[in-house]
Amino acid sequence: MLKKIFSIKILGGIFFVFFCGFVFYKGAFLIDKLLKDEESQNEESMAPMVKGESDEKVLPSEENLLNKHSFPVASYLPVKKAQASELDVFRAHSSVILDADSGTILHYENGKEERQIASLTKIMTAVLVVEKIKDLDREAVTIDEEAVYADGTKIGCPSSGNCIGTRLKVGEVISARALLKAMLMNSANDSAIALSKHIGGTQENFVEMMNDKAKELGLKNTNFCTASGLEIDGRESECYSSAYDIARIAAFSMKYKVIWDTFKIRDTVVYSMDGKISHDIMNTNRLLDEMPECLGTKTGFTPLAGKSLMLAAHDSTKKHKIIAVVLNDPYMWEDIKEMTHWAFNSYVWQ
C-alpha cells in the first residue's frame, strides 16, 4: 500500500514538473508575441502621417521616396523643425508640397483627390517632347488647322479671346523649340496640339503615350485626355490628375534642363523656320521678378478645373528644391508664395 502511494506521489511530481514547464514555455511565447506586436504598433505610429481625404496613412516611410523612376536616392532629407507652425491652405481645393530631390511630403491636403488640372497637363507634354525630339532647334513642325483653331490661349493670344499678336498660320513650319517655349511660357494650346500630332501622328496617340508615361512613373490618380489640358466635351470626367501626381511629374521633369530654362524666360520672339513670320511670347509667371528663389511656374485654368498652379523654388543655399501645387484656388499666386516661405522656414535638410 505504501509503495502504491509512493508511486502515485512520484507520478504526480513528474506531472507537476511537466505542467510547470509547459506553462513557462507558453507564457514566454505569449510575452514575446506581445512585445513584437507592441514594437510593430510603435513603428507604425512613427510612420509619416499625411493629411488627406480621410487622414489615413497614405505614405509610410518606404513609399515616401516614391519610386526609382521619379526620384534618385537623395543625399539630404527635410526634417521639420520642432517650432514649425502648421499650414492650412484653406482656399485651395487641393495642395501639396514635395521635396523635389527625395519626394518627401512637406504638406498635403486632399493631395490624391482626382480632379481636372487644365494646363498643368502641359508639364507632362513637355516631358515627352524633350524625350522624343533630340534636336529641338532643327525639328520642323508643320502647323495644321486643328492647332490653329484650338480653343483658349494660343500664340498671339496671351489670354483666351485676347489676340493682340501674330498667330500661327496653317502650313507654317516652325521649330519644336519655338513651340515648346510658347507652350511653357504662355500656355499656348495650339503649340501643345501641334507638338503632340507631330510626335504621335494624332493627338490620341500622343495622349496614350502620356498615360503610358504616367504608369511608368507610378502615378495612380492620373488620366490624360488631351495634350493641352483642355477637357473633351462630354468626357470631362476622363481628364484628371491630382495635386500629388502633378508635383511628382514636375519633380521628374527637373532632369530635363531645357524645360526649366524655358520656364525662366521672361519674354522672347520666335520665328518660322524660313524667318518670315515672327511671334512674340510673354511669360505668364507673375513671380519671376518678385521671388528670386522661384525656378518656374506652370499655370492652369478652365471653368471646370478652376485656377491651378505649380511652382518650383530653391532655398537660400540653392541646394534644396521644393515643388508646390494648388488646384482650384482663386488666390493661387498668394497661397503658393505662402506655401513656399512656410516650407523653407519650417524644414531643415539633413
Over residues 303-313, the pLDDT tens digits come to 999 999 999 99
* pTM assigned to the model: 0.81
**What is the percent of the chain with per-residue pLDDT over 70, rounded to a whole number?**
79
pLDDT tier for residue 66 given thresholds of 50, 70 and 90: very low
CATH class assigned to 72-349: alpha beta
pLDDT band at residue 74 using 50, 70 and 90 as cut-offs: confident
pLDDT at 61 over 50: no
Write the CA distances from 115 to 94, 149, 204, 244, 300, integer angstroms: 9, 26, 20, 11, 13
C-alpha cell at 16: 507537476
Question: Per-residue b/e over 81-94, b at no fewer than 16 CB within 10 Å?
Answer: eeeeeebebeebbb
Alpha carbon distance 248, 211 (integer Å): 14
* Nearest-angstrom CA–CA distance, 92 and 89: 6
**What's the confidence (pLDDT) of residue 157?**
85
pLDDT at 285 over 70: yes
Position with higher pLDDT, 265 vs 161:
265
Higher pLDDT, 161 or 155: 155
Average pLDDT score over residue span 21-40: 44
Q: Bigger pLDDT: 111 or 23?
A: 111
Mean pLDDT is lowest, of 29-43, 239-253, 324-338, for: 29-43
The pLDDT of residue 162: 76
Given a cut of 60, whether residue 51 has pLDDT beyond it is no
Say what the pLDDT of residue 70 is. 56
Residues annotated as catalytic (active site), given as ranges: 119, 122, 187
**Over 90: is that where the pLDDT of 256 sits?**
yes
Q: How confident is the model at residue 71 (pLDDT cuts 50, 70, 90)?
A: low
Query: How many Cα neighbours within 13 Å face the side chain of 296?
Result: 21
Query: Percent of the chain, pLDDT > 90?
Result: 75
Give me the mean pLDDT over the 40-67 stretch. Answer: 37
User: CA angle, corner 67, sides to 251 and 129, nearest 5?
Assistant: 45
Name the 3-class secondary structure at 306: strand
Q: Residue 151 pLDDT more than 90?
A: yes
